[in-house]
Amino acid sequence: MIKKHVLFLLCAFSASSSLAAPLSSEQSNVPTDEAASSTASTAQYQIQHLEPLSWWVGMEEPSLQLLVHGKNIGELTPSIVSNLRGGNSDSDVKLVGVQRVDSNNYLFINLEIGKHAKPQTITINFNQGDKVVTSYPYQLAARQENHAASQSYGAKDAIYLITPDRFANGDPDNDSVTGLIEGPSRDKAGGRHGGDIQGIINHLDYIADMGFTQIWLNPVVENNQETYSYHGYSATDFYNIDARFGSNALYRELSAKGQERGIGIIIDVVLNHAGSGHWWHNDLPTKDWYNYQGQSYQGTNHKREALHDPYAAVSDKTVFSDGWFVPTMPDLNQRNPLMANYLIQNTIWWLEYANLSGIRVDTYSYPDKAFLTEWTRRVTNEYPNINIVGEEWTTNPAIVSYWQKGKQTHDGYQSYLPSVMDFPLQDALIKGLTNQENWNTGLNELYRMLANDFLYPAPENLVVFLDNHDMSRIYTQLKEDQALFNIAMVYLATTRGIPQFFYGTEILMSNPGTDDHGIIRTDFPGGWQDDKVNGFNNKGLSKAQKASKHFMRTLLNWRKNTPAIHQGKLRHYGPENGVYVYFRYDDNEQYMIVINKNTQDTAISLERFDEMLSNANSLMPIALNASSLTKPQKANGDLLIPKQSAHVFKLN
């Protein structure tokens, strides 16, 4: 157990004391005399932040670098004392170096944690000469057993993307928090609406029932910005959950309760930038903590092509990587080794602390390329089976594929990134369903984009999607055409890759007439007590919304239990006359998927597909919705497909 004096120390010297994991029975407590020296800290030397907040023994990487921030702390000399019985001789934890930086209010302490180190609390003493001025208890815990990242997410899964502020308000008491600037304003599209982690916990059963097996949350770390703080991409504290969402302990509870229901939690990591309200912003450790630090504002040009263009100007490459997104999002300089290590350790800390199943990385290509290699290498070294998907927002598959692990790149660059977001296929799917059918347009655009899979080392591990929090919802993109919407859902669930769905897609949420992100990320109906419509229990939903929800539940749960669909091979045939046919199959089962985009019933000759149908006696329709065929079909001759529909047949 943690005795009172340890708890007092944690509260006195850490802004995030409640985040430390519980001590194991092998650990002892900080001696009383050392606790007394800690409380004797003078106003001249105050520890305001020490990060990472805690760490673990048994990590693959033995080095640990602590960032210490406090008034004049750079004037002091740290030392460590083990609190295991036997003192330092049993500790196997050593202080191997101290780095002082431009600001006198920082110290970077380098520790080495031996492979035989036991879980323990060490005391970090800060000394002035022979005098201990202040002390800090630091926990080294035992690692998670059977970590969720050992399974991670893959093609077997269906990901549910949630913007936490807009999903469900499970705890109205935290809508406004003292010390955090922006309060609730649900009437504003860009304001905070009150959704939180408790709201997600309250609806885990709903998410599981729908057939989703992973949740990707937009970032939930503190964003203490004046406006637009709800989206989470302007971190002001990398180690604290925003109190308007809950707490670190509640985030860990979400992960645990999700796992009980077969749902993993994917963390959204931002490596490129922070928020201008970050606690370090007005007292930066070094003169190069940010890119363009101390200079006039320079925004990124977003020209990701410059990284690959053989004719690109060096200045274009520099401005792309080093320029800021907006004036309130300072660009982090990952070429600074202290910053690089800070970001790497922060990612690992959250994975281990909350037992998370995987990672999504925002704006993946914007940080320093060498840093990205080292970041992914370090993370995958600790979690060899973890899946990490990077966001490279371009419709050019040559550029997207550049970042996937195993790619033979044009410049010899080595990446360790397992997955990328398949923006090219998303764009092709929309064009395929909305453009007029011709010899090279319509479904042919979708077919041709999938044919580019030779560019990817592992196309089956790409994350495929119809929309996300940064683009119009799929129902809007398809002009609220229910038939095309159903086709899109079937395609996403049956093509190769890992499907991701945006919250509310199941009930046809839309953003007609606007691309305002605040409207795109509108509230899920029923997530607030006074909502008249409830998407969770169907109260007030239209007939079309109820049908769509039932269809998606049926589709995703069928997919989850059909390995040939999510892990089998894929074979497709070039679209003809507005009909696209492809197969998913393994050694045990074969499925035929037929998309008819035409506005009339269309007959197709099955002789064309003899390569796949030669051993089939019949085609058994999978009943997914009211438009599905229900009777077994012959595996030869002609097959009549109803207008504007997608059908799945099991080959018997």
Q: What percent of the chain has pLDDT over 70?
A: 92
Name the E strands within 185-302: 214-217, 221-222, 237-241, 264-269
Calculate the alpha carbon distances from 302 to 268, 274, 371, 394 in Å.
Answer: 21, 17, 19, 10
pLDDT of residue 525 exceeding 70, the answer is: yes
Sheet holding 131-141, edge to edge: 55-56, 131-141, 120-128, 77-82
**406-431 average pLDDT score:** 97
- Dihedral angle sign, alpha carbons of residues 563, 565, 566, 571: positive
**292-307 average pLDDT score:** 97
**340-348 average pLDDT score:** 98
pLDDT of residue 494 exceeding 70, the answer is: yes
Residue 85: which pLDDT band, with cuts at 50, 70 and 90?
Answer: low
Q: Is 391 a catalytic residue?
A: yes
pLDDT of residue 37 exceeding 50, the answer is: no
What kind and span of H or E run contains 113? strand 106-113
Q: Is 481 a catalytic residue?
A: no
Mean pLDDT of all residues belonging to the chain: 93
Rounded CA separation 585/562 (Å) = 10
Rounded CA separation 624/556 (Å) = 10
Q: Which of 35-39, 332-336, 516-520, 565-569 has the lowest mean pLDDT?
A: 35-39
- pLDDT at residue 628, rounded to an integer: 82
- pLDDT at residue 430, rounded to an integer: 98
pLDDT of residue 18 exceeding 60, the answer is: no
- pLDDT at residue 625, rounded to an integer: 86
How big is the CA angle at 43 (ends 94 and 283), to the nearest 5 degrees?
75
Q: Helices 543-560 and 482-494, interaxial angle, to 10°?
A: 10
Rounded CA separation 231/341 (Å) = 25
Rounded CA separation 514/358 (Å) = 33
- pLDDT at residue 190, rounded to an integer: 97
Query: Is cis: bond before 52, omega within 30 of 0?
Result: yes
- pLDDT at residue 629, rounded to an integer: 84
pLDDT of residue 286 exceeding 70, the answer is: yes
Residue 630: which pLDDT band, with cuts at 50, 70 and 90?
Answer: confident
DSSP H helices, 40-165, are none
* 174-201 as b/e: b if 16+ CB within 10 A: bbebeebebebebeeeebbbbbbbbbbb
- pLDDT at residue 43, rounded to an integer: 65
Rounded CA separation 162/143 (Å) = 28
- pLDDT at residue 461, rounded to an integer: 98
What pTM was computed for the model?
0.93
Cβ burial, residue 142 (10 Å; 0-12/13-18/19+): middle
Calculate the alpha carbon distances from 77 to 133, 296, 407, 594 in Å.
Answer: 10, 36, 46, 70
Rounded CA separation 300/638 (Å) = 55
Residue 379: which pLDDT band, with cuts at 50, 70 and 90?
Answer: very high
**238-246 average pLDDT score:** 98
Calculate the alpha carbon distances from 187 to 165, 176, 197, 291, 536 in Å.
Answer: 13, 15, 21, 36, 22
92, 362, 392, 422: which one is catalytic?
362
3-state class (DSSP) for residue 502: strand
CB 149 within 8 A of CB 357: yes
**518-530 average pLDDT score:** 98
How big is the CA angle at 359 (ends 356 and 365), to the nearest 5 degrees?
160
Rounded CA separation 212/263 (Å) = 7
Residue 40: which pLDDT band, with cuts at 50, 70 and 90?
Answer: very low
Q: How far is CA 23 from the centre of its chain?
A: 29
CB 284 within 8 A of CB 292: no
Instruction: Give per-residue pLDDT as tens, 534-578.
Output: 999 999 999 999 999 999 999 999 999 999 999 999 999 999 999
3-state class (DSSP) for residue 289: coil
- pLDDT at residue 27, rounded to an integer: 33
Sheet holding 590-596, edge to edge: 569-576, 579-585, 590-596, 645-651, 618-621, 633-634
What kind and span of H or E run contains 106? strand 106-113
pLDDT of residue 173 exceeding 50, the answer is: yes
Rounded CA separation 601/607 (Å) = 19
**262-271 average pLDDT score:** 98
DSSP H helices, 357-481, are 369-382, 397-401, 423-434, 443-450, 474-477
Other CB atoms within a 10 A radius of the CB of residue 394 amount to 15
Task: For 531-551, give the secondary structure using H, E and C.
Answer: CCCCCCCCCCCCHHHHHHHHH
Rounded CA separation 169/43 (Å) = 41
CB 368 within 8 A of CB 278: no
Phi, psi of 638 (to 5 degrees): -100, 150
pLDDT of residue 9 exceeding 50, the answer is: no
- pLDDT at residue 274, rounded to an integer: 98
Instruction: Give per-residue pLDDT as tens, 198-229.
Output: 999 999 999 999 999 999 999 999 999 999 99
352, 368, 391, 467: which one is catalytic?
391
Q: Which residues pair with 192 in a beta bridge?
A: 184
Rounded CA separation 408/375 (Å) = 20
pLDDT of residue 35 exceeding 50, the answer is: no
